[in-house]
Amino acid sequence: MWMGIDLGTQSVRALLADDEGTVVGSGSAPLTGRRAGPVHEQSPDDWWTATVTAVRAALAGGDRPRALAVCATSGTVVLADDRGRARSPAVMYDDGRAPGRGPGRARLLHRLYGPGLILHQADLITARLAGRPLPTDSSHALKTGYDPLGGAWTGPEEPGLPAVVRPGTVIGEVDRAAAGETGIPAGTPLVAGMTDGCAAQIASGSLTVGSWNSVLGTTLVLKGVTAEPPRDPDGVVYSHLSPDGHWLPGGASNVGAGALTAAFPGVDPAALDTLAAAHEPAGALAYPLTGRGERFPFAAPDATALLLGTPVSRADHWAALLQGVAFAERLCLDHLDLIGAPVDGPLTFTGGAVRSAYWTRLRAGILGRTVRVPEVSEPALGMAVLAALGAGAAPSLAAAAGRMVRPGRTVVPEHTDRFTEPYLALVAELERRGWLPSATAAHARARAERPDAS
């Protein structure tokens, strides 16, 4: 039995899976935070309380894990004392008072609350489980300024930063006090985890070079596998180091299902999906940003949601949004191909959007790719897989995932050609507005003309 714990923005999820990936126990508990202008904070004590609740629910059936790993949001940090207990509120990943990457968040904590240890969200939980601070992993440390290629923190040395190990490394064990609170046996190994995005990728099984996982929820995240970290002159792609020694490049877009709920609050998505099928392609072109600015496949802080043309109906408008997200997804893959990342391997879809069978088929058609949708794809399962690797139950992460990730269903693309013209029209408009670099636009056009582009 292997346990994964996933700390998100809105909840903590714990999952217990056996050696073949069968989920034998799960639990969750909600989280809340405080938002005020640029400030977004949460209580680290709430993280621990929610973790205890979720873990106890996952263990209610009587099974116990042989090892566990923890994933969390990328870039969330907290100041702690020498015992690993929080001394400050947690500064969340999207807090606007410090830059999104680099040591700025650590400096913010020291400026506000004085000296102390800098812990990432996952580090706080492993510290509570072990009764002392433990090394962090290179994945959670990436946005705090750790360079996995050079194996060191970048820039001027910031006091209180933790030691860093590769994900999948055993870093400690559960102590008696935490065992009493959680029900996890004392002595259970703690395995260094990864960020929630990487955990979702592990749970998708996309772990061989050239494979990609597209996670579509409120926003869109693509993550893949390469032998070497790709160099992106536009800076929209960054890479995590895999426990297998491969690189996990990817990027996060601000398009996604959040734009649909904002445009159509309270509607029945399934009903509109059925009507949208009559509008392929839609009568309008959309780039459905969920807010101001775009991060991937291009960096444009002033970009805003785009709707060209006038939809003839609500169903046509809904179709334009569904197709617009898929066009952005295709543009992400075109940009990745431009910078030399292999994109011709297996492709998986995960995230909340896979609940829509129509949207899944539509995305496969616009991408021109056969797609696999795993049976279970939540980040907590990815951490259970990583725990199995760390405990020595598999020779590689890919082997562990191959045994524990269930393949699910396969979706074959249909009607691909009908979407080429509107896709290229959207590319041209993004370029005309100065948001999309000309090199990416030209490459998208060139790939659309190649029969083997998918």
Domain chopping of the chain, boundaries: 2-196, 206-373+416-448
Across the range 299-316, mean pLDDT stands at: 96
Tokens of 37: 């202008």
Distance, CA of 444 to CA of 352 (rounded, Å): 27
Tokens of 217: 């929820």
Across the range 432-453, mean pLDDT stands at: 90
Across the range 425-447, mean pLDDT stands at: 98
In tens, the pLDDT along 162-192 reads 999 999 999 999 999 999 999 999 999 999 9
CA 262, 266, 271, 274: dihedral to nearest 10 degrees? Answer: 0
Looking at residue 452, its pLDDT comes to: 55
Looking at residue 65, its pLDDT comes to: 98
Number of CB atoms found within 10 A of residue 20's CB: 8
Looking at residue 101, its pLDDT comes to: 75
Looking at residue 95, its pLDDT comes to: 87
pLDDT at 25 over 90: yes
> Cα dist. 316→17, 73, 256, 357, 361 in Å?
43, 35, 17, 18, 17
In tens, the pLDDT along 347-367 reads 999 988 999 999 999 999 999
116 backbone φψ class: left, alpha, beta (φ>0; ψ -120 to 50): left
Looking at residue 158, its pLDDT comes to: 82
Q: What class has domain 206-373+416-448?
A: alpha beta
Distance, CA of 126 to CA of 25 (rounded, Å): 20
Going by C-alpha positions, the residue among 336, 300, 325, 276 that lies closest to residue 423 is: 325
> In terms of CATH architecture, what is 2-196?
2-Layer Sandwich (3.30)
Number of CB atoms found within 10 A of residue 341's CB: 25
In sequence order, what DSSP letters do the residues of 130-146 get, joined into one string? HTS---EETTTTGGGTE
Pairing of strands 212-216, 347-350: parallel
Return phi, psi of residue 306, to 5°. Answer: -120, 135
The string over 93-124, giving b where at least 16 C-beta atoms fall within 10 Å of a residue's C-beta and e elsewhere, is: bebeebeebbbbbbbbbbeeeeebbbbbbbbb
What proportion of the chain, given as a percentage, has pLDDT over 90?
89
Looking at residue 416, its pLDDT comes to: 85
**In this structure, what DSSP letter does residue 161 have?**
P
In tens, the pLDDT along 310-334 reads 999 999 999 999 999 999 999 999 9
Helix, strand, or coil (residue 45): helix
Looking at residue 451, its pLDDT comes to: 56
Confidence class of residue 100 from pLDDT cuts 50, 70 and 90? Answer: low
From 19-23, 217-221, 319-323, the region with the lowest mean pLDDT: 217-221
Looking at residue 98, its pLDDT comes to: 79
Distance, CA of 78 to CA of 120 (rounded, Å): 6
- Please state, rounded to an integer, the average pLDDT across all residues of the chain: 94
Distance, CA of 16 to CA of 55 (rounded, Å): 9
Across the range 37-66, mean pLDDT stands at: 97
Tokens of 147: 């360079």
Tokens of 313: 């109906």
pLDDT at 132 over 90: yes
Distance, CA of 139 to CA of 198 (rounded, Å): 8
CA 252 to chain centre: 8
